[in-house]
Chain A
Amino acid sequence: MSVAVERPRASWAEPVRLLAVRTAALSTVELQKLRSDHTELFTRMVQPVLWLLVFGQIFSRIRAIPTGDLPYLAYLTPGILAQSALFVAIFFGIQIIWERDAGILTKVMVTPTPRAAIIMAKRSRRACAGSPRSWSSCRWRCCSGSRSPSTRSNCSPPPSPRAQRRLLRLPVHGDRRHRPDPRPADGRRPAHDDAAVLRLQRPLPIEIMPTWLQVISQVNPLTYLVNALRGLLVGPREPVGRLRCARRAAVLGIIGAASVMGKLVR
């Protein structure tokens, strides 16, 4: 029988290895769960399309919202994606509580698994569950855009797989200290004038909102996430710094969530 003896502490590389292999192991389980329940993928795909269908169609017809030279559907898509990401994040937060109540989380936490790996695995499932959603909304937006001659020219091609992956990795947390950067960035569409660029930096044309909503949108991290998404999807391309800021916020989010995992199972 093997009985432990005091071993010298492992090197700094050990925690990194542990985090990587445990995240991989837990992610595999998350994907297996996802595979066993196809309805989740399907429902996530349908929801944003319904949003685009109802809101997008109505608002683009009535032309009530000034979006510059960009069709309203293209303008709306990043917001819908961000909103979907937020819903999925909330759902997975609830799911962690279910798993705690079911005792599964407790058992995982008694294995040599860093808390952060549990959060990272949830994120990867979130990304996979969300990918049909982003695909469906991008496709749908493009398909519906191409039906109308006035919007076809403005409809950007669907994002590359790399851009999609980047999108999916984006967190829903944001850096509150960050203020929108009015600098026009290196655009995919040089035709944009400065005013259009400025408008594009906002999730909705903020000027048409009541003042109290304008204040909220300035401090809402999602505003900046939507900006980043819009930059990736329809240009002008987001400054790298803003994406870095989103990534930093994700790391902070993971550390914060991992640090309360212990409390959660208590």
Chain B
Amino acid sequence: MTTLAVECTGLVHRFGETVAVDHLDLQIAAGEVFGLLGPNGAGKTTTIRVLNTLLPAQQGSVRIFGLDIRRRALDVRRHLGYVPQQLSIEAALTGRQNVTWFARLFDVPRAERAARVDDALDAMDLLSVADRRAGSYSGGMIRRLELAQALVNRPDLLVLDEPTVGLDPIARAGVWERVRQMQADHGMTVLLTTHYMEEADELCDTVALMHHGRLQAVGSPTELRAGIGPEATLEDVFRRYAGAGLEDHSAEGVRNVRRSRTTARKLG
């Protein structure tokens, strides 16, 4: 029997009238790289925020490695590494201080702490600039620093919400290469969202297409492509399941676009 990293049944989350997540059933096997795709406003971030205990599961049940997120939120968090959609580092601190801070928040033992922080920085190719203020880092470096923060506790489940938004192709490739390396080294489960189909195709073992808060299709990229046609790309799959009704939610679109632009602007 495969261990489930995430097991989510009938999950519902509403913001007032808006149903952001609508009776979502989701299963992610331990050790796989799972991509959650979908248009703006599909409910990807909301799903991730429920899974990592930031939002309450209003309806349905969610288990992370068998732990109920309602009753064992603190224990669930011990298994998580999280990189939010928004850029979020302490610009006034150095790269090393930023990572050490998270090592302490995750109870990395004091004796191992310095070595673990250096390992995480090294894995993200930041060791040489570790003592520089994070505020002086480039966008790609900030993202890698965030990954180092998320990886310093060697999480069992790494959650990445659009980690490559606003990055140039080289920086993007750099981020993915390192995620893949860490995943291979530590065998952790990775849950990511992205709008770059080719990335999802290349990186993910399983892909789920979300639209209007529901999963429209789940499978390996190969299976999903085959379901459309011999020459189909993941983008065709995306258009097939999410293309309809894309123009329906212009009001929330403004908010989402604004948020993405803010992130892109910060990334410089």
Chain B residue total in the interface (Cβ 8 A): 41
Residue numbers in B under 8 Å from A36 (CB-CB): 92-93, 133
Does B74 interact with chain A (Cβ within 8 Å)?
yes
Is the pair A109, B90 in contact by a Cβ cutoff of 8 Å?
A: no
Q: Classify the interface of chain B: helix, strand, loop or mixed.
A: loop
Is the pair A29, B97 in contact by a Cβ cutoff of 8 Å?
A: yes
A213 to B87, CA, bound (A): 47
Q: Which A4-21 residues have a C-beta within 8 angstroms of B?
A: 4-7, 18, 21
Does A113 interact with chain B (Cβ within 8 Å)?
yes
Q: Which B74-101 residues have a C-beta within 8 angstroms of A?
A: 74-75, 77-80, 82, 84-90, 92-93, 97, 101
Q: A103-B86, A104-B89, A106-B84 are in contact. Are A4 and B156 (CB under 8 A)?
A: yes
Is the pair A112, B54 in contact by a Cβ cutoff of 8 Å?
A: no
Contacting chain A: which of B102-110, B201-209, B210-218, B224-232?
Answer: B102-110
Q: Which B52-89 residues have a C-beta within 8 angstroms of A?
A: 52-55, 64-67, 74-75, 77-80, 82, 84-89
A36 to B133, CA, bound (A): 10
Scoring B89, B104, B133, B187 by chain A CB atoms within 10 A of each residue's CB, the highest score goes to: B104
On A, residues with C-beta under 8 Å from B are 1-7, 18, 21-22, 25-26, 28-29, 32-33, 36-37, 102-104, 106-114, 262, 265-266
Residue numbers in B under 8 Å from A262 (CB-CB): 54
Does B181 interact with chain A (Cβ within 8 Å)?
no
A32 to B96, CA, bound (A): 12
Query: Residue B93 contacts which of A4, A7, A29, A108 (CB distance < 8 angstroms)?
Result: A29
Q: List 26 A-B contacts (CB under 8 A).
A: A1-B188, A3-B5, A3-B30, A3-B65, A4-B156, A6-B66, A18-B74, A21-B107, A25-B104, A25-B105, A33-B90, A36-B93, A36-B133, A102-B88, A103-B88, A106-B54, A107-B88, A107-B149, A110-B52, A110-B82, A112-B77, A112-B106, A112-B107, A114-B74, A262-B54, A266-B55
